[in-house]
Amino acid sequence: MEKVYLDSAATTQVRNEVIAKIQDCLVNCYGNPSSTHSFGRSAKTRIEKARKTIAKQLNAKPSEIIFTSGGTEADNMILRCAVRDLGVKTLITSKIEHHAVLHTAEELAEEYSLNLQFVELDEEGTPRLEHLEALLKADDSKKLVSLMHVNNEIGNMIDIDAFAQLCKEHEALFHSDTVQSVGHWEWDVQKTPVDFLTAAAHKFHGPKGVGFAYIRQDSGLRPLIFGGGQERGSRAGTESLHNIVGLEEAFILAYEHLDKERRYVSELKYYFIERLKQLFPDVKFNGASALENKSTYTLVNVCLPFSVEKAQLLLFQLDIKGIACSKGSACQSGSSAGSHVLTEVLCEEDLQKPSLRFSFSMYNTKEELDYVVDVLKEYALS
């Protein structure tokens, strides 16, 4: 096999239907959505249709959906505006959040002299609900909690309903980075009392450079970006219409095929896990990534029993063989620093071994996974 792509947690292959929608929009709907002539009105109509589509699936109001350039902007916007506008004095998160949350939290703590606190992790690396409850009870300060639904490196999932309900009971604001979750799991923001969610189209077979924030109505947030009155005054800047249309199509298709594709991808994941166990009896799976009821079906993080020497060249050797995976999140791959997530969940001995994130999609096959296992076996014996 020439190419095997197992890095869908970094970005997904764009569906052909999405490409067709984007192309049609670029050719036939190129007006500025803020213009009042027919070209502009046509563009504006497409944006509002996309907003309603997303809102309906999430059981939200269309006015609660704000289009952004992606998950990072949405996370930054929500955290920064909540602290600036809502009187937040205590920011609670975890040390395994995506850096879009973690680094923003650190900056805000310094800028606003916030009390920055971290929820303890259990033995598998999942934030502990009991410790969050203790932090919420500690004092009467206005609190904002930010915990991701699905961890982008080890796949651990929190019980989002329980965490959201706990925050509501203690009158704390609750934000969840759901970039690895939207498009892969069902959502109902009336059932799950979150205040803020974030999503990125390229995680569910849409285009890069577009996402959205869910911001509960009457939250009190003011804009982060000022200029025109786009996005109902919440985010200035001419909307990326073709990307929004692509996001909508990807979103529709993700939920139309969710059950079928989830079964298929889950089967791939656990087939791969069993093949690795057969080949490497000492293999370990980081976090809860191999546990069906505690992790997402889209990825597994593997700690391979290789020597330090072999570990140094493993990712390079896989790339030579046409296999794409990741040693951490794509956002970190250019850094010489190790994964901050694995640093929190692994012992010192296992940190010296190679850990790889393999992430799957409907475009993968068992034959591809067999090829990857064969390449790993060949490298282990070389």
Active site residues per annotation:
331
- Closest to 382 in 3D by CA, of 315, 306, 316, 319: 306
Instruction: Locate the DSSP E strands across the chain.
Output: 4-5, 65-68, 90-93, 115-118, 143-146, 173-177, 196-200, 211-215, 284-285, 299-303, 323-324, 355-359
Query: Nearest 5°: phi and psi at 232?
Result: 55, 35
Contact in structure between 185 and 161 (CB atoms under 8 Å): no
**Cα pseudo-dihedral 269, 270, 272, 278, rounded to 10:** 160
Q: What is the DSSP string of 325-378?
A: -BSS-GGGTT-SS--HHHHHHS-HHHHTS-EEEEE--TT--HHHHHHHHHHHHH
Q: What is the DSSP string of 229-260?
A: -TGGGTS-S---HHHHHHHHHHHHHHHHSHHH
Contact in structure between 361 and 11 (CB atoms under 8 Å): no
Query: Nearest 5°: phi and psi at 235?
Result: -155, 110
Sequence length of the chain is 382
Ramachandran sector of residue 170 (left: φ over 0; alpha: ψ -120 to 50; beta: rest): alpha
